[in-house]
Structure 1
Amino acid sequence: MNATDFTVFTATYNRANKLSKVYESLCQQTNQNFEWIIIDDGSSDNTEDFIKKLLVKSRFQIKYVKQNNGGKHRAINKGVQMASGELFFIVDSDDHLLPNSLEIISKYWKQVSSNSQFAGVAGKKIFKNGNDVGDKLKTEILDCSIIERRYKFNINGDKAEAILTSVMKKHPFPDYPNENFCPEGLIWNRISLEKKIRFFDEAIYVCEYLEDGLSKNSIRNRKTNSNYTLLLYSELSKNKQVPLFFRLRAIVNFWRFSFSNGKSFNQKKMMLNNPAFGTILFPAGFFFHLKDYFFDKVKISQ
């Protein structure tokens, strides 16, 4: 591998009390050939002071940048620009790694690194109690795209992907002003059109989904960041790796969240691969929009 095997990347926002867990897990890594890039997305807590202390005592390189609040996707774009590691590995600020995580990743990457069909490798995420996040692989190793893993092999749930930095540089997140949440699936789906991942059935990542985290607020984020949402579902509806049923469901979700977007009906319709067929599914999308609306009303009244 390269002079620096890994760029471990963390985007953080007001999580100074959580970052020590990430740092401690990096200190314990059996493979120390990495850099840690931290993009502070406009924190108002003592994150900056905490990182300054780490910069003095850390045995490994830490690159820290504080920017105006712009969302995780913009932080990732910045981190990718700064990265010097061969593989780019995202570790969220409320999660941490097992002591041999980077060593395990390196082992599997060496098996496929000479094959240009591969963009990276991915291992298992587990909860703090040791239970798997999502579905287990049916084999010890699975070589496929991220989309195929879910839709062809029916393995759902988050995995811990380490992706070639060169591939990440080729696929930056788009930038819609005034929207601060872009689903990471948009980029993973684009990478899936070109490259495969070696998935392996070993735990490398311990996660905790916090109440204020992105995963816990998925519906709200998709509503308030509708340009990204419509782009995600329009591209998914056109992706031939995705079975027809799920492409149709993507169209339904496209219309479901379209009511939060200011584009005209015709502008939205033209984002779909088959505008006429897409229009047929508009009533289903409207139904789910109403369901979301009344569910929100009930939550507010409670």
Structure 2
Amino acid sequence: MFFTICIPTYNRAHTIIRALDSLNEQEFKDFEVVIIDDGSTDDTTQVINDYKKTASFEIRYFKKENGGKHTALNVGIKKARGEFFCILDSDDWFKAGALKEMYEECKKIADNDEFSGIMGRSMINGKSLIGNKFPDDPFISSYVDFHFFSGLKYGPFGDCCECNKTNILKQYHFPEPEEAKFVPEAYLFDQVGVKYKLLCTNRVYKNVEYLEEGISNTVDYKTKNIIGFLHHYVSRLDNVFPYVSNLPYKLKVIAWWRYWTAVKMDFNKTGPRVKHIPILGYIVRIGTPILNTLFKFYYKDLARKGR
């Protein structure tokens, strides 16, 4: 089996049919669908059971207690049997012919141990490209490059659609703190990016819809899940930055500022802490109140939403 399409979902019975229909219509059929239901209270189970009766592909459905998307992805990665793993959110859908095009790209790096996978583009509701185009096609990048180098120079690239080798992803795991329902996906994928490259293309594979009830549109979602973000910030400082050369000084300052801000918000002191604090870390800690004021002044809307 070539692809595992993982669909993490929570109370999206009203949109998941569209995602499944986009898979049913694919010409390429060498894939399985693994749906991880993160404790839905709507009729998702019935919708999936009904759909399985006529689907042209294998659907494996697992329901778990609500813990957040990151916990659903942990289960999905563990259950995956395909050679490549692709995340399809339950409110998104593939464009016609996407899997065949993705297969062609994946085959180029399937036997190359330097690459974790491939990355293509997404559109908003099939109308406009999300983010700027990659400067070349194909474009050799990585999650680290994507977030800290080319993404700043040529981007922002925005939400993309990627497939990674399943055997690589199985080596990583999202933390599952009880105090948070959200851990940024970059927690895991930046660690992948330290070791592996991505083959990127400007081909569009996926359509995205940003629903009002989505977590990215929720006010104070960061504040409410600060422990999850703290895991992410600690991982960047402990597991990513030490292995990245020529990292812009400004990004190091921002990383430490975000860490110290999150530490202050961790009132019960239950979150993780960095293993080693360099001189820069202590300097930023002293200057954090000033940086907080500047952020609130220049980014009023983001500050209001708890970003």
- Same fold by TM-score, threshold 0.5 exceeded? yes
Distance 1:204 1:49 in 2: 28
Spell out structure 1 runs of 4+ moving beyond 6 A.
288-292, 294-299
| Amino acid paired to 1:57 | T
2: CA distance, partners of 1:20 / 1:100: 18
Q: Distance in 1 between matches of 2:182 and 2:168?
A: 21
Could you tell me whether the CA contact under 8 Å between 1:269 and 1:278 is conserved in 2?
A: no
Letter in 1 for 2:189: W
Partner of 2:288: 282
Match of 1:196 in 2: 197
Which residue in the other structure is 1:161 paired with?
Answer: 162
CA distance in 1, matches of 2:191, 2:8: 22
What pairs with 1:168-183 in structure 2 (closer than 5 Å)? Answer: 168-183=169-184
Matched residue of 2:53: which SS? helix
Structure 2 CA distance for aligned equivalents of residues 58 and 129 of structure 1: 24
Distance in structure 2 (CA, Å) of the matches to 1:47 and 1:7: 20
Match of 2:94 in 1: 97
CA distance in 1, matches of 2:115, 2:302: 42
> Map of 1:260-279 to 2, 5 A cutoff?
260-262=265-267, 268=273, 272-274=277-279, 275-279=281-285
Gaps of 5+ in 1: none
Q: What percent of counterpart residues are identical? A: 26
Q: Does 1:136 align with 2:151?
A: no
Whether the 8 Å CA contact 1:97–1:204 is kept in 2: the answer is: yes
Q: State the Cα deviation string for residues 148-176 of structure 1 (Å, max 9, x = none).
A: 12322133212111011111111110121
Kindly provide the amino acid, as one letter, of the partner of residue 151 in structure 1: F
Shift of 1:116: 0.1
- Structure 1 pair 281–189 and aligned structure 2 pair: CA distance change class (3 A): farther
Question: Where does residue 259 of structure 1 map in the other structure?
Answer: 264
Contact 1:80 1:168 in 2 (8 A): yes
Q: Distance in 1 between matches of 2:303 and 2:160?
A: 34
State how far apart, in whole Å, the 2-side matches of 1:142 and 1:296 are.
31
Question: Aligned partners of 1:278 and 1:165: how far apart in 2?
Answer: 38
Structure 1 position 252, deviation (Å): 1.7
Change (3 A) 1:281 1:101: farther
For residues 113 and 149 of structure 1, what CA distance do their matches in structure 2 show? 21
Letter in 2 for 1:46: D
Aligned Cα root-mean-square deviation (Å)? 2.6
Cα deviation for residue 291 of structure 1 reads: 6.9
Could you report, residue by residue, the CA deviation over 1:212-268 in whole angstroms, capped at 9, with x for unpaired residues? 112223x6222122222123223334613542211211222223333321365xx85
| Displacement of 1:179 | 1.3
Count of residues paired in the alignment: 293
The answer as to 2:223 corresponding to 1:229 is no
Aligned residue for 2:180, secondary structure, equals coil
- Match for 1:95: what amino acid? D
1:118 aligns with 2:106: no
Supply the distance in 2 between the matched residues of 1:203 and 1:109 (Cα, whole angstroms). Answer: 15
Single out whichever of 148-157 and 98-107 deviates more from structure 2. Answer: 148-157
Deviates more, 1:142-151 or 1:279-288: 279-288
Q: Name the residue aligned to 1:246.
A: 251
TM-score (norm 1): 0.89
The more displaced of 83-92 and 227-236 is 227-236
Is 1:11 equivalent to 2:13 in the alignment? no
Per the alignment, residue 21 of structure 2 pairs with 24
Q: 1:187 Cα deviation (Å)?
A: 0.8
Matches within 5 A, 1:11-90: 11-90=8-87
Matched letter for residue 247 of structure 1: K
